[in-house]
Structure 1
Amino acid sequence: MFQARSVFSDDELLMLKRKSQWRAAWMIFHAWAVIFGAMAMFVLWPNPLTFIAATLIIGARQLGLAILSHDASHGLLFSNMKVNDFAGTWLTDYALFGDMYAYRPYHVAGHHRFTQQKNDPDLGLTAPFPITRSSMRRKVIRDLTGQTAYKQKAALIRRAFGNASMPASQRLAMGWKRLHGAIVTNAIIFAILAATGHWFLFFALWVFPYMTFHELVVRIRSIAEHSMTPDNDDPMRNTRTTHANWLMRALVAPYFVNYHLEHHLLMAVPCYNLPRAHEILLAKGYGPRMETQPGYAAVLALAASMPELSQMQAAA
């Protein structure tokens, strides 16, 4: 089991664990400002290129909201836990039909405790890789055409409203209890856009990016973090840090999510301090032990590296 004090000094750990309330507030504001700014870009210059650009930017920033909620699930956004949990639900996760309160025990007590072990609840997300290029292409097409999101969200809504044999009033009460956050936050987004005279943006540049590009970047994130790691029993090699340039940080890896190895080693460290943790590890000579990749293109190439079946094998 990894012991942080065997690598980091007490002063380093104190510095890395220090929270900035202003930084947390800024990241939440930044995420929403980028989302509404991308919508404004399309309104000011309506054409296919700005629509595509806005879809990519908003889909990635929706992942950013999920990442900030993830930090909140660890209690890392704000020192006051009531404020922290409000930010991790009403200001971020609920808008994406997430449930931080259900995610927190599953993620912290499950995934972090049993990373890449048979008890890891996320193991099914990473186990299938590597796959063939044709299989990867089919997954990407399903993501970008909304098939993945439709399947997942339809199942989520069905579960929320319980069994069809239950009384209608009980099903409605159960559905409201489980989905009220998503319903209210999305209604607020719709109301804000409608008040500006652009209600259609809710469907065109909130729902559409969420159902398409957002699903693709969620998949890429999942693959990069744990798939095809070389040693499931080594905490420096059973997860991965992926280097990201400015474009990848904007479209695939917002809010330092690419520093996933450091997050697993130090899950009490806010996301904005993870780059510094990475620098300390390199300075102390741990670089060769750490599982890293030079970029997301390299990770995806690795994920799609399984040879295609021959025509005869495929027909068998």
Structure 2
Amino acid sequence: MHRPAFHKPELKLERRLFATSALESALVIGYALLLFAVPLLAYVGLAGHGPAWALGALPLLIPAAYGMFLQGILGHEGFHFNFSDKRLLSCLLGVLCSSILTGFCVTGYFVDHWQHHRHSNGPQDPDWRLFRRYRHPLMRMIVSRLQATARYLLQTVQLALPGARVEGRLPLPAQQIRLLARVNLLCQAGWIVLWAGLASHWPVLLPALVVCLLLALLISGVNAYQEHAFASDVETPIARSRTSLLCSLLHAGSNYHLEHHLYPRVPCWRLPQVHRRLLASGWYQDRQALLEPSFIGSFRYCSSQFPYSGEVQATPERAPASLEGSGPAR
């Protein structure tokens, strides 16, 4: 029985790994947009030649869906303040990008996600309460993500109301969170209006977008379990890192999810560097259960054989580092 005890690595990272970079932020945002737009536009162009072309070009929508899913990752990075030292600007960039995912409101997600980091794998972790309920693969892939998305949308609407109360310890003042919620809803509406306008000129675009959105939903649903579902004989796991090159390309480095929990102020595109340092330090030597080298193999964690990690609560002395104190102050 493989039971690796968890303790935070003593590895001290260079300050540059925590520093924001306008150039790197622009490159990552551009990369995610290109991964979404290029195959989508290629599909629209080919589908215009007839039904046979539309059917044959369907595989192009898979990388487009990953590009759409990446917009949600950009929202996550924005609310980790990884795009700019100006926190509000970083969040606004995250809101603008992630609103491409119709229905996904990153402001409501942020309220849950901050608690996810503070209380990982315990009853105060919103993800622990939600994702541990589901065992069947279809329920995990579809229902869990629909429920989470609805929750984030409702929370964003509530936060956008005049005088809305902001519960919990959050790293932004309440008035900024209310502002972000309102901007988030406006951006959601703006992207829908833009899609409708474009679809009036290219009718095939609308069904292509719907397929991308459905695939992105499945990718996102699977992702939660790829990151946090473990065999029951793995003791107090925090998260899993998927180390395949293809996964890194499709997830922009956010697939190194354990590194993200250990060093949450490092931008996702630098997490592969953190992983290499941890490997060189020997920290992973007895923790191979926390790594998944196969892109295809990582999909098995959506099955009922792998309970969501939060089903066994971590003991306080093994709890992961919170967002505070996990990197240089910003």
Which category of TM-score, normalised to the shorter sequence, fits these structures? 0.7 to 0.9
Q: 1 CA distance for matches of 2:86 and 2:157?
A: 33
Q: 2 CA distance for matches of 1:119 and 1:284?
A: 32
8 Å Cα contact 2:96/2:184 also seen in 1: no
Of residues 201, 204, 219, the one that matches 2:207 is 204
Distance 1:193 1:19, change over 3 A: farther
Matched with 2:215 is 213
Alignment of 1:129-140 (within 5 A): 131=135, 135-136=136-137, 138-139=138-139
Of residues 113, 119, 123, the one that matches 1:114 is 119
The answer to whether structure 1 residue 240 and structure 2 residue 240 are counterparts is: yes
Q: Which letter maps to 1:259?
A: Y
Distance apart, 1:23 and its partner CA = 1.4
Q: Partner of 1:288: helix, strand, or coil?
A: coil
Give runs of ≥4 in structure 1 deviating > 4 Å: 147-162, 175-178
8 Å Cα contact 1:190/1:199 also seen in 2: no
Matched with 1:42 is 43
Q: 2 CA distance for matches of 1:270 and 1:258?
A: 12
Distance apart, 1:149 and its partner CA = 7.4
Of residues 244, 247, 270, the one that matches 1:273 is 270
Distance 1:34 1:115, change over 3 A: same
Q: 2 CA distance for matches of 1:287 and 1:152?
A: 32
Matched with 1:301 is 300
8 Å Cα contact 2:108/2:156 also seen in 1: no
Q: Partner of 2:112: helix, strand, or coil?
A: helix
Distance apart, 1:260 and its partner CA = 0.2
For each residue in 1:75-121, what CA deviation from the matched residue of structure 2 results, as whole angstroms up to 9, or x when unmatched?
Answer: 1112222331221112323643333333223211x100111112111
Q: 1 CA distance for matches of 2:81 and 2:156?
A: 26
8 Å Cα contact 1:42/1:50 also seen in 2: no
Q: Partner of 1:122: helix, strand, or coil?
A: helix
Distance apart, 1:181 and its partner CA = 2.5
Distance 1:40 1:113, change over 3 A: same
Alignment of 1:59-208 (within 5 A): 59-93=65-99, 95-108=101-114, 110-128=115-133, 131=135, 135-136=136-137, 138-139=138-139, 143=142, 179-192=185-198, 194=200, 197-201=201-205, 203-208=206-211
For each residue in 1:176-222, what CA deviation from the matched residue of structure 2 results, as whole angstroms up to 9, or x when unmatched?
Answer: 8873321112212333454xx31440x21222320x21111111210
8 Å Cα contact 2:241/2:256 also seen in 1: yes
Aligned length, in residue pairs: 270
Distance 1:16 1:204, change over 3 A: same
Distance 1:49 1:245, change over 3 A: farther
Q: Which letter maps to 2:222?
A: I
Distance apart, 1:259 and its partner CA = 0.2
Give 5+ residue unaligned stretches, structure 2: 1-5, 48-52, 159-180, 307-330
Indicate the RMSD between aligned Cα atoms, in angstroms.
3.3
Distance 1:158 1:20, change over 3 A: closer
Q: Which letter maps to 1:7?
A: E
Q: Which letter maps to 2:63?
A: I
Q: Partner of 1:98: helix, strand, or coil?
A: coil
Distance apart, 1:281 and its partner CA = 0.4
Q: 1 CA distance for matches of 2:148 and 2:120?
A: 24
Distance apart, 1:303 and its partner CA = 4.2
8 Å Cα contact 1:70/1:100 also seen in 2: yes
Q: 2 CA distance for matches of 1:176 and 1:153?
A: 17
Distance 1:78 1:49, change over 3 A: farther
Distance 1:150 1:81, change over 3 A: closer
Distance 1:177 1:13, change over 3 A: closer
Larger radius of gyration: 1
Q: 2 CA distance for matches of 1:50 and 1:79?
A: 45
Distance apart, 1:44 and its partner CA = 3.1
Matched with 1:169 is none
